Amino acid sequence: MGRFHRHDGDHDHEHEHEHEHDHDHDHGHDHDHPRVDTAPTAAHGDHSGYATESDRVVVLERIFAENDQTAAANRGDFDHAAVTAINLMSSPGAGKTMLLRETLLRLRSRLRIGIVEGDIETSIDADRLDGLGAAVALINTSNGFGGECHLDAPMVRSALGRLPLAELDIVVIENVGNLVCPAEFEVGEHARVMVYSVTEGEEKPLKYPVMFRSADLVLVNKVDLIPHLDFDLDTFYDNLRAVNPDAVTIEISARTGVGLTQWCQWLCDRHEQNRAATVTS
């Protein structure tokens, strides 16, 4: 997992936490991440200058314990309502919102879908989903210092009261665009789906293994652009399998519609599996 550590000189520094956005904000829940590596390895680079502080480890453990407790409560509410929750993650600009628009257009006659829309500022993405038959609960993570770089379980819980869970089949949680932090926080989801754009390069699974490793399904988006890119799809798949050999993949283009039938069927199948498991438990 991405973690913060401290260099000599008593200043915080990020390791394996290279965001696709500015990260100079103050997390409101004491979100310092200690690094626990103690020796350099060929796979992870030279960490010999990093130090672990026990007090920060304790803080981190408390943060995740509290988050996981709320995530379990969220999942309990989803299960009670027979709702399947999907945590949709990606880097900024990978195409999550366009994918959601096309998904709602294709599934609104088959499934009752709710959206938890996470964004740092504005209602731009939530507005793009308006009028498509989905209940949408917007979460802006701005805290006056730039905003949180992810959704956590308490944020999602705050949105559930604004969704008619008893009247829904699926809730898609569109996380903040970021390739690190969203993967670290359970929010009560039943499955994690990552939207990856081919414009991001083949090396991203190796650079951001936490995100790719956490995904149950990777949607390889914007495949219509491959003829115009210096991009090797086979190399991407090799890199993905190196960090997550069990990930399911579907090649899609939210713009042209390629692969969206398979994606929508995956959603329907996942909901049926989850509902069956809930009934028998």
Residue 102: how many other CB atoms lie within 10 Å? 21
Are 118 and 175 spatial neighbours (Cβ–Cβ below 8 Å)? yes
Tokens of 99: 């994918």
Residue 1 pLDDT class (50, 70, 90 cuts):
very low
Residue 99, in any domain of the structure: yes
Percent of the chain whose pLDDT exceeds 70: 78
Residue 156, in any domain of the structure: yes
* 207 vs 7, higher pLDDT: 207
Q: Compute the C-alpha angle 173/179/182, nearest 5°.
A: 40
Model pLDDT, residue 40: 39
Residue 117, in any domain of the structure: yes
Are 112 and 167 spatial neighbours (Cβ–Cβ below 8 Å)? yes
- 220-234 pLDDT, tens digit per residue, is 999 999 999 999 999
pLDDT at 6 over 50: no
Count of all residues that appear for the chain in the document? 281
- Residue 112's closest CA among 95, 135, 128? 135
Model pLDDT, residue 215: 98
Are 137 and 157 spatial neighbours (Cβ–Cβ below 8 Å)? no
Residue 112, in any domain of the structure: yes
The tally of domains found in the chain comes to 1
pLDDT at 207 over 90: yes
pLDDT at 21 over 70: no
Residue 12, in any domain of the structure: no
How far is the C-alpha of 194 from the C-alpha of 220, rounded, in Å?
Answer: 9
| Average pLDDT for 135-151 | 79
Model pLDDT, residue 52: 54
| Average pLDDT for 102-120 | 95
- Helical (H) or strand (E) element with 172: strand 170-174
Residue 15 pLDDT class (50, 70, 90 cuts):
very low
Residue 33, in any domain of the structure: no
Residue 8, in any domain of the structure: no
| Average pLDDT for 109-128 | 94
Tokens of 163: 């969704």
Residue 101: how many other CB atoms lie within 10 Å? 16
pLDDT at 157 over 60: yes
Q: Which domain holds residue 200?
A: 74-280
Residue 278 pLDDT class (50, 70, 90 cuts):
confident
Tokens 């069927």 found at:
265
Residue 171, in any domain of the structure: yes
Are 253 and 224 spatial neighbours (Cβ–Cβ below 8 Å)? yes
Are 1 and 184 spatial neighbours (Cβ–Cβ below 8 Å)? yes
| Average pLDDT for 58-72 | 86
Q: Please state which of the ranges 34-43, 127-136, 146-155, 168-177 shows the lowest mean pLDDT.
A: 34-43
- 189-198 pLDDT, tens digit per residue, is 999 999 999 9
Give Cβ neighbours of residue 77 (< 8 Å, ≥ 6 apart).
Answer: 160, 165, 188
CATH number of the structural domain spanning residue 131: 3.40.50.300
160-193 CB burial, b ≥16 within 10 A, e <16: beebebeebbbbbbbbbbbbbbbbbbbbbbbbbb
| pLDDT averaged over every residue in the chain | 84
Helical H segments across the chain, by residue range: 54-80, 96-107, 124-128, 153-160, 181-184, 204-207, 209-214, 233-243, 260-280
